[in-house]
Structure 1
Amino acid sequence: MTTARSWWRRGDNLRADAQAAKDAASQAFYELDTAQRDLDLSIETISAVDNSPAAQRALAGFRALGEQIDQVSGAYIATVDAHDLDRDELDTATATRARNELTKAKDDLDRAKADLERFAASLAPLLGKAETQLARLAPAVERARQGLLAASNALDAVRAAGLKGDELASRLAALSPELTKLNQGAGTHGVPETLARAEDVQRRAEAIRAEASRLPEQAKEIDKRLVSLRTRVEALATRASGVEPVLSELRRRFSLACWQDLQQVPAQAETAVAQASAKLAEAAKARDEQRWADATSRLSTVRALLDDVDGSVSAAGDRLRRLNEVSKDPKAEVEKTRFAIRDAQRLAMQGRTTPEPRHARPLDDAVARLDRALAALEGRHPDYWAFLTETAAVRETVNRVVANIREDRAQGR
């Protein structure tokens, strides 16, 4: 009787051991399944963002690992199905075999989970990069939407101020298809593409907003430039009309060499005034039609035309004034030049018993040039303009020598 009870307890313990092995395998299966689901989410995150070779290798590795897990999981399920631990006639051999096979299934599941965890750890850099991009995605899309709204509002303000802003409106309308794609989301167009699109839309929208905000001030500035340049054209026309009388006096009183380079100034001024007036009219028309770039371009042309001829018109009167001065008193020009030479000579001798030859030589030449220029005025029809040009050139040479001396001393030479 005792022997029968002992056998029964032993059989009951084997059943309990087999059941414990089954429970442990079930827990291992659950943990593996959970880990696989977590890794599947990580792979989806990486695949949505990254198409690099490293990401492709990770995807291939995940597929291979998935096949291994399927095999282990299938073997576990087959083992569980093969052993009914609740039936009454469970014998010792069957219970032992069930426990051993279920224990092996658990060990296989644990090894697969360990492989899965090592693989998941290797994905950390790729996953971190992908998650960073995903974290940037929603704010970037929102910034793009807000940028478009700000651009639209700025354009409305421009129109309220009586300006059309057609070019800006056209650029804003061109962003509409991009907004549609942003609204369709990264699931349709991919995370990198959507992120790049959002940043591009924001940048372009901000440019439109900034230009729209500047447009009223730009219009005012163009209006001011129109008035200013119109005044300059009128003033130049008036001044240009006075060039011919100045040339007449130059011809009457001075030699040909003193005025021949100014002969074309009246014609050049007349042509420049006519061209500037025409471009000014074009600028005014472009401004009325709110073609801001064209208006700005025409005004720049007007200014360039005026700048080119303005100096020539001034040169005639300045030439007459300077020639009058030098013809009355050439010595003043000579003394101004001699003073510059003597000042340079004193500088060259400072701290020296003899000057540096490369400094002394051009200063000696300058003295000789000045003497020759003064002597050339003794003829019947002196070329006072050549005299003024030469004295200016002498002073320029002297100034270069002074600069060289100071540079040498600054460097300890």
Structure 2
Amino acid sequence: MTATPPQPESPSMPRAHRPPQVSAAVRDALTLMSLPLVAVLALPAAFAGGGTRRWFGGRAESQRAEAQAAKDAAAAAFYELDTAQRDLRISIETIAAVDDSPAARRAAADFEALGHRIDEASHRYINAVDAHDLDRDDLEASAASHARTELTRAKDELGRVKQDLDRFADGLGPLLGKAETQLARLAPAVERARQSLLAASNALDTVRGSGLRADDLAARLAALAPELTKLNQGAGQHGVPQTLERAERVAREAEAIRAEAERLPERAAEIDHRLVSLRTRAQALTTRAGQVEPVLSELRRRFTLACWQDLQHVPGQAAETVRQAELKLTEAQAARDAQRWPDATALLSTARALLNSTDEAVSAAGDRLQRLNAVQKDPQQEIDRTRFAIRDAQRLAMAGRHTPDPRHARPLDDSVGRLERAIATLDGRHPDYWHFLTETEAVRQTVARVVAQIREERGGAAGH
């Protein structure tokens, strides 16, 4: 329906015929009646200034804006605290996965306590946000002011907890650094263990291809299979420290197996060489042992009983030890043929020790005759040698002193007397030259100990 608009008044029209004057309200109503319905419905929004919110004046809107700003600031503080807590939780979990020390356990407990404070501050913030609808049309200035106060208080509490959280995080530096170092070592350590096991397996295959069985090494490598399974299961199941220790141990053992496997051909050749060498030596000692009896005969003929009686057992002992050594060499050959390398090595060492003792015993007889011949011909050389050692020690004891230290002077004086008594034993019809030689040797050993003591004491005093 369309209304006829009022006609303009004509100046020539008589007043009685002019249309009656209408008020402004009537004109507005008529205007509305002439507009489409959609336009009419849209007009109230235009009259309200483009929004649906009621207008309560500038103060209310100002308080609403301040409250909204406080809400935004609190939201930012909440987000920062939540982010910091998430980051720190990762650090705590990293430490807990690696470190079971009292310090690490205290850090976890302190973080849990901080978590309770964070929860309380977060609940206070959420409650403040839920309690105030800042988008309400009829929000009053007092309500907006109250909302701003509560939201600001919640923001301040979130900020204080964040500061405490930051200080706590700063204190975790040493623990976190240690944990991160172990974690950084974990993957390379596990990979080294795997590569070491692979290298050991390849080395064993190569050795077996050359005809050597290496059964003991194969058994040691097989024993590492359960350890490899645990490494593959990961640190999440077995713990970082335990996995790291296991990886390093597996790598060491696998490397030792690889090295022994690669050296096995050389070891077999070395055992073969030692077998030949020790057999040759046993044969030579058998020949030398047969020469001991003539030496003993000469000692018996020219010197007193005391000079040779301790050598009487040498021929029989030499024959027995050589026989034992040859038996061990036979056993070592059998072990080598069976490729029992540790047994072969141990048996060769035993045979070598037996031959060494035989060599010493056989040599003792010849050395005895040689020394007795020398002292019988010229005992003065032995006397002069011993006296020189005593005089040299006496000069050292007196160096820088007016009187010698009794701890040094007494054994040196005793050595002088002991030497004179040994010399006196040469005056008889049948001198005990061996007793004389052992006495002079004992005197020189005593003098050498005194000299070493003096030098040690003076060296220590100079150091201070």
Normalised by the shorter chain, which TM-score bucket?
0.7 to 0.9
Judge conservation of contact 1:21–1:99 (CA < 8 Å) in 2. Answer: yes
Q: 2:315 aligns with which of 266, 279, 282?
A: 266
Question: What one-letter code is carried by the residue in structure 2 that aligns with 1:307?
Answer: N
Map of 2:378 onto structure 1: 333
Of 304, 327, 330, which residue of structure 1 is paired with 2:353? 304
Which deviations, in whole Å up to 9, do the C-alpha atoms of 1:227-273 show, x marking residues without a partner? 11101111222233344455567667877666554443332222222
| Worse-superposed segment, 138-147 or 226-235 | 138-147
Question: Alpha carbons of 1:125 and 1:237: their partners in 2 closer, same or farther (altered >3 Å)?
Answer: closer
- Closer, same or farther: CA 99–248 of 1 in aligned 2, 3 Å: closer
Number of residue pairs the alignment of both structures matches = 391
Partner of 1:143: 192
Name the residue aligned to 1:388. Answer: 433
1:68 & 1:254 partners in 2: Cα distance? 102
How do 1:8-87 and structure 2 match up within 5 A?
8-87=57-136
- Kindly state the Cα deviation for residue 45 of structure 1 after the two structures are TM-superposed: 1.5
1-side partners of 2:390 and 2:71: how far apart? 112
SS at match of 1:277: helix
Query: Aligned pair in 2 of structure 1 residues 133, 366: CA closer, same or farther (>3 Å)?
Result: closer
Once the two structures are superposed, residues 358-387 of structure 1 have per-residue CA deviations (whole angstroms, 9 ceiling, x without a partner) of: 87996687577556535414xxxxxxxx54
Q: Is the 8 A contact 1:279 1:298 kept in 2?
A: yes
Q: Which residue identity lines up with residue 392 of structure 1 in the other structure?
A: L
> Which residue, 140, 149, 159 being the options, matches 1:100?
149
Counterpart mapping for 1:237-386 below 5 A: 237-244=286-293, 260-316=309-365, 332-334=377-379, 336-337=381-382, 369-370=422-423, 372-373=425-426, 375-377=428-430
CA 1:155–1:93: 2 relative to 1, 3 Å? same
- Contact kept? 2:307, 2:434, Cα under 8 Å: no
Question: Structure 1 residues 244-253 or 64-73, which shifts more?
Answer: 244-253
CA deviation after TM superposition for structure 1 residue 115, in Å: 2.8
Structure 1 contact 225–299 (Cα < 8 Å) conserved: yes
Higher RCO (CA-CA < 8 Å; seq separation 6+):
1
Q: Matched residue of 2:429: which SS? A: helix
Q: Are the structure 2 counterparts of residues 369 and 96 from structure 1 closer, same or farther at C-alpha, using a change threshold of 3 Å?
A: closer
TM-score normalised over the length of structure 1: 0.78
Q: Deviations over 1:264-299 (max 9, x none)?
A: 333222222221111110111112222222222212
Q: Could you give the per-residue CA deviations for residues 102-126 of structure 1, whole angstroms, max 9, x where no partner exists?
A: 3333233223322322332333332
RMSD (Å) for aligned C-alpha atoms: 3.9
Q: Distance in 2 between matches of 1:403 and 1:64?
A: 72
Structure 1 range deviating more: 240-249 or 397-406: 397-406
Which runs of no fewer than 5 residues in structure 1 stay unpaired?
351-355, 378-385
Cα gap change, 1:395 to 1:65, in 2 (>3 Å): closer
Paired with 2:177 and 2:453, the residues of 1 have a C-alpha distance of 62
Counterpart of 2:266 in structure 1 is 217
More helix as a share of residues: 1
Q: CA deviation at 1:151?
A: 2.8
Shift in Å, 1:204 = 2.4
Partner of 1:380: none
Where do 5+ consecutive residues of structure 2 fail to align? 1-53, 396-403, 459-464
Partner residue in 1 for 2:21: none
Shift of 1:53: 2.3
Counterpart residue number, 1:193 = 242
Select 2:138's aligned residue among 80, 89, 100: 89
SS of residue matched to 1:108: helix
Q: TM-score, normalised by structure 2?
A: 0.70
Residue deviations 1:80-113 (CA, integer Å, cap 9, x gap)? 2333333333333333333333333323322332
